[in-house]
């Protein structure tokens, strides 16, 4: 019985290891990043507007609680308890590049404000207006900007 298996030249596992090594080197060099733009990152740009092998993103958001209460509401499409209302101010900046060393040679930013309605059921209704170099975008979304639904 063999306990330590070693690949030899020509074995199928040898080819698999070579492919794994090549793929690992390529992902380190060329990256596997997601795009920027949309409701989560660089909100003033259309979804997927900027893409590349490497991405860096920084987002700052200040939320101010205007109310902290338990008020029922019944709108045509929403029935819940409002537990809070917030104003949000945000600034985001990001960059994409095919090579890691080229990050931040060109970057984009978004800034804006929004409103959050926090409910007893756990849903957060978010309305944002963001401005960037290509104009303005408005977003109506359910969840926080970096929450599980947005990902």
Q: Which residue has the higher pLDDT, 1 or 135?
A: 135
DSSP 101: G
Burial class (CB in 10 A: 0-12, 13-18, 19+), 12: exposed
Q: Are 116 and 63 in contact (CB under 8 A)?
A: yes
Burial class (CB in 10 A: 0-12, 13-18, 19+), 2: exposed
**pLDDT (tens digit, 9 = 90+) per residue, 100-124?**
899 999 999 999 999 998 887 777 8
User: Do you know the residue count of the chain?
Assistant: 151
pTM of the full structure: 0.70
Copy the structure tokens of residue 55.
């991405």
pLDDT, position 147: 57
**pLDDT (tens digit, 9 = 90+) per residue, 67-96?**
877 778 777 767 777 778 899 999 999 999
Mean pLDDT of 19-32: 75
pLDDT, position 52: 86
Pairing status of strand 135-142 against strand 124-132: antiparallel
């Amino acid at each position: 019985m063999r306990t330590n298996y070693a690949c030899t030249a020509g074995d199928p596992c040898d080819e698999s290891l070579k492919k794994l090594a090549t793929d690992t080197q390529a992902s380190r060099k060329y990256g596997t990043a997601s795009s920027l733009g949309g409701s989560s990152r660089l909100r003033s740009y259309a979804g997927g507007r900027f893409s590349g092998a490497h991405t860096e993103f920084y987002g700052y958001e200040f939320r101010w609680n205007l109310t902290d209460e338990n008020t029922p509401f019944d709108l045509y499409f929403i029935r819940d308890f409002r537990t809070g209302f917030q104003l949000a101010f945000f600034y985001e900046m990001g960059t994409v590049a095919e090579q890691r060393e080229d990050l931040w040679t060109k970057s984009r930013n978004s800034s804006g404000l929004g409103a959050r309605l926090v409910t007893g059921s756990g849903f957060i209704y978010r309305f944002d207006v963001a401005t960037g170099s290509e104009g303005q975008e408005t977003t109506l979304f359910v969840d926080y900007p970096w929450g599980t639904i947005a990902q």
